[in-house]
Amino acid sequence: MNTQSDSALVIANAQKTYRNGFTALKGVSFDVKQGEFFGLLGPNGAGKTTLISAMAGLAHLSQGHINIMGFDTRKQPNQARMSLGVVPQELVFDPFFTVRETLQFQSGYFGIRKNDAWIDELLHKLHLSDKANTNTRNLSGGMKRRLMVGQALVHRPPVIVLDEPTAGVDVELRQSLWAFIKELHGQGHTIILTTHYLEEAQSLCNRIAMMKKGELVALDSTANLLRSSNGVRIAMTLSAALPEALRKWQIPSTGTEIILQLSEYAQLAYVLSTLQYEYVAVKTLNILENDLEQVFLRLMQDNTKGVVTC
Ligand SMILES: Nc1ncnc2c1ncn2[C@@H]1O[C@H](COP(=O)(O)OP(=O)(O)OP(=O)(O)O)[C@@H](O)[C@H]1O
């Protein structure tokens, strides 16, 4: 391990072209410091899973390199592998093993023989103790997802990568899964998370990288990314339809409220005076907080090249 560095993960110029000629990673570089709770976000097909596969040594980069806790995934694959636990997106198990056997088998894969105390603790934390002797084919989707988390943790890796860990997990279990992952983070583990639930990333991650079509488009603290979200969003309920003059600012909303996206607070005065002039009463008015979804959508729609650091 490189003791000079406090990086848990270094991605340097990662490029990946698949055999069919498709380039999924076009030179991605970033570092994750030890102890960070880091979000790796991007729409479907951005290249997140490809990058995670390369971290786990399951896919080889065409160019560039990856270090985990100072170990090069190519030159020191065993040390790199021992330093990393990946919870993959796809639920794949040997259907003939029970839950406990799956975790014992995985421990053996990492050369760990007597792991029962830790396996019991994992089963308890993941609410799977009563399923220890159940065959994996008889687990629900959410239980399988939790078993995958257990599998990634059998060797107590310092760096944990979770590729959409809460997909298909119900709300209650999602909360307990996050409580457990936060506990691991509190114990000093570095957590790298991909999720399509942006509110999860916003509340959990201290720093975020956003990818689009194999490239990094943003890399900054969550707080800075939220601050970068320019403009003001207001939600209103009105006594009549929104006047024509204000419709250019209206953005789609799922509820009954009318949402306007303004570029600055000064426009609010114009909105209110227009409503008054048109005899439309304001029944409720709220200024909405910036959220990561807005930042994400803006960056994904933006066609300019380069990495945004706010
Ligand atoms: N084995 C493969 N051969 C060719 N192309 C591939 C292969 N695996 C992935 N791709 C392509 O690489 C691109 C990136 O895929 P990847 O799974 O890394 O995206 P992602 O960001 O993880 O998406 P999602 O959020 O849907 O999981 C996609 O266009 C995908 O079709």
Supply the residue whose CA is at minimum distance from atom 10 of ligand 1: 24
Residue 310 in any domain: the answer is no
Domain boundary among 186, 206, 226: 226
pLDDT band at residue 307 under the 50/70/90 scheme: low
Residue 298 in any domain: the answer is no
- Residue 295 or 148, more confident: 148
Supply the residue whose CA is at minimum distance from atom 18 of ligand 1: 47
Residue 303 in any domain: the answer is no
3-32 residue pLDDT tens: 457 999 999 999 999 999 999 999 999 999
Closest CA to 73 of 138, 9, 118, 24: 9
pLDDT band at residue 306 under the 50/70/90 scheme: low
Residue 20 in any domain: the answer is yes
Supply the residue whose CA is at minimum distance from atom 17 of ligand 1: 49
* pLDDT over threshold 90, residue 282: yes
The residues pairing with 71 across neighbouring beta strands, listed in sequence order, are: 68
Please tell me the distance between residue 47's alpha carbon and the centre of ligand 1 in angstroms: 6
Contact assessment for residue 259 and residue 290, using Cβ atoms and an 8 Å cutoff? no
215-272 residue pLDDT tens: 999 999 998 888 776 678 899 999 999 999 999 999 888 788 999 988 888 899 999 9
CATH number at residue 262: 3.30.70
Closest CA to 277 of 245, 237, 235, 233: 245
* pLDDT over threshold 80, residue 310: no
Pocket test for ligand 1, best of 18, 40, 89, 195 (most atoms within 8 A of CB): 18
Supply the residue whose CA is at minimum distance from atom 28 of ligand 1: 45
- Residue 21 burial by CB count (10 A; 0-12/13-18/19+): exposed, middle or buried? exposed
| pLDDT value of position 280 | 96
- Residue 117 or 262, more confident: 117
DSSP state of 207: E
- Residue 153 burial by CB count (10 A; 0-12/13-18/19+): exposed, middle or buried? buried
| 71 and 204, same domain (yes or no) | yes
Residue 309 in any domain: the answer is no
| 64 and 211, same domain (yes or no) | yes
| 170 and 256, same domain (yes or no) | no
169-214 residue pLDDT tens: 778 778 878 888 898 899 999 999 998 888 889 999 999 999 999 9
Contact assessment for residue 291 and residue 202, using Cβ atoms and an 8 Å cutoff? yes
* pLDDT over threshold 90, residue 164: no
CATH number at residue 72: 3.40.50.300
| 104 and 17, same domain (yes or no) | yes
| 264 and 183, same domain (yes or no) | no
| 108 and 34, same domain (yes or no) | yes
| 129 and 263, same domain (yes or no) | no
| 247 and 263, same domain (yes or no) | yes
Supply the residue whose CA is at minimum distance from atom 6 of ligand 1: 18
| pLDDT value of position 303 | 65
* pLDDT over threshold 70, residue 123: yes
Domain boundary among 226, 256, 281: 226
| pLDDT value of position 91 | 75
Closest CA to 215 of 56, 3, 11, 76: 11
Q: Which residue matches tokens 């709770």?
A: 37
| pLDDT value of position 3 | 46
Please tell me the distance between residue 22's alpha carbon and the centre of ligand 1 in angstroms: 9
pLDDT band at residue 309 under the 50/70/90 scheme: low
| 138 and 255, same domain (yes or no) | no
Ligand 1 atom nearest the C-alpha of 194 is 25
At position 126, the amino acid (one-letter code) is L
Pocket test for ligand 1, best of 49, 162, 194, 212 (most atoms within 8 A of CB): 49
Residue 301 in any domain: the answer is no
| 173 and 197, same domain (yes or no) | yes
| pLDDT value of position 29 | 96
| pLDDT value of position 1 | 47
* pLDDT over threshold 80, residue 105: yes
pLDDT band at residue 154 under the 50/70/90 scheme: very high
Residue 133 in any domain: the answer is yes
pLDDT band at residue 308 under the 50/70/90 scheme: low
Please tell me the distance between residue 26's alpha carbon and the centre of ligand 1 in angstroms: 13
Q: Ligand 1 pocket by C-beta < 6 Å: which residues?
A: 18, 20, 22, 24, 42, 44-50, 89
The domain total for the chain is 2
Pocket test for ligand 1, best of 15, 16, 17, 22 (most atoms within 8 A of CB): 22
Supply the residue whose CA is at minimum distance from atom 24 of ligand 1: 44
| 259 and 110, same domain (yes or no) | no
Residue 1 in any domain: the answer is no
| 172 and 244, same domain (yes or no) | no
% pLDDT > 70, the chain: 95
Please tell me the distance between residue 18's alpha carbon and the centre of ligand 1 in angstroms: 10
pLDDT band at residue 305 under the 50/70/90 scheme: low
Tokens of 117: 């105390």
Identify the domain containing residue 234 by its residue range: 230-289
